[in-house]
Amino acid sequence: MRILIAPDKFKGTLTGPEAAAAMAEGALRVYPDAVVTALPIADGGEGTVEAAVAAGFSERLNAVVGPIIKPVGAVWGFHEDSKVAVIETAQASGYLLSEPTVENSLRAHSYGCGQLIAAALDAGATEIIIGLGGSAMTDAGTGALRALGLKLLDGQGNLVPLGGGSLLDVVALDASGLDPRLADVKVRMAVDVDNPLYGLNGAAHIFGPQKGADPDAVELLDAGLRNLASVVREATGVDIDTPGAGAAGGFPSTFIAYAGALVERGFDLVADLIELEKALDEADLVITGEGSLDEQSLSGKGPLGVADAAHARGIPVVVVAGRITVTFEQLAKHGVVAAVSATDVAGSPEAALAEAARYTTRATSEALNGI
């Protein structure tokens, strides 16, 4: 029996690697002679670097400027052979690194992400994958590009302050000092949303409130994004208001214009990065899961993306999650033969959260005993 264990993180309790370890223990209790392979996954947001490191990338740490100036330590991944770097906006510019206040929603920036990109370029990266999600800013990636040499100027020719709240003042962009290495590197943006840059379904209106923006701040941020898009279009001829450009505070948008960035479905990008297809070719059974398996999961992201890929090969799939709010009939359409939640095994959400690894292990054993 060859078992592939490929879970996403259990947000707030277990990282992807921790969830995989707990599931492996539960699987070996039922199949002690099984050959178990752990391959944590991600949707392209938080957990992308962890998935890359678990798949063989080296882990690197850089001190960078956080979203509200304070220095932070940001982890990223690098593969020496392929020269691929993996970066997350959450690591350098994440919402957990700042208080969600109105003031911070306007000040937060992505400068630290640009510092990580520079570190990747210094390491010799020829391809940079940026996982978008869990961000604090709504600056359209301008902070990151400023760290790489782009200048945003106001009507008097002065640099505008960092942060999305200043984008309405931008009247010109000076790319003369932009790091020339950006032209020679492939930049891929992993997204799991298709929101445009601005408008009622854009970055400010949809994601601004969770970053602390009140209605007035949302309108200011949205107006700034709209203004920036106009200035960028005039400077480069590129329309940056495209599907997915609203991810991580609009981060992909300016990179589309100034780095030729590609915006890709997060799960597909990560699956390719960690060579999921190759791992599935060597599996007889797949175990996957995440913290909360709900209606959003059914869109094919994360665990259900793994399940669909396994199902296409005729490989049975077992799902283990912190909680499951969809029906087994819905999961069965994706090739799932058993599904158990840690909450059901523990008896309550509180118990499951308090001892997430223990109950994930037990849920895995229970699921396998039921097939």
pLDDT in tens, the chain (371 residues): 999 999 999 998 999 999 999 999 999 999 999 999 999 999 898 899 999 999 999 999 999 999 998 999 999 999 999 999 999 999 999 998 999 999 999 999 999 999 999 999 999 999 999 999 899 999 999 999 999 999 999 999 999 999 999 999 999 999 999 999 999 999 999 998 899 999 999 999 999 999 999 999 999 999 999 999 999 999 999 999 999 999 999 999 999 999 999 999 999 999 999 999 999 999 999 999 999 999 888 876 799 999 999 999 999 999 999 999 999 999 999 999 999 999 999 999 999 999 999 999 999 999 999 88
Residue 52: the pLDDT is: 96
Q: In one letter, which amino acid is 93?
A: S
Contact indicator for 17, 26 with CB cutoff of 8 Å: no
Task: Check for a shared fold between 2-38+276-369 and 48-267.
Answer: no
Residue 82: the pLDDT is: 96
Question: Distance (Å, rounded) from C-alpha 274 to C-alpha 346?
Answer: 32
Residue 55: the pLDDT is: 94
Question: Distance (Å, rounded) from C-alpha 314 to C-alpha 277?
Answer: 13
Does the predicted TM-score (pTM) go above 0.85?
Answer: yes
Residue 370: the pLDDT is: 87
Select 2-38+276-369's CATH number: 3.30.70.20, 3.30.360.10, 3.40.50.10350, 1.10.287.70: 3.40.50.10350
Residue spans of the domains in the chain: they are 2-38+276-369, 48-267
Residue 300: the pLDDT is: 63
Does the domain formed by 48-267 have CATH 3.90.950.20?
Answer: no
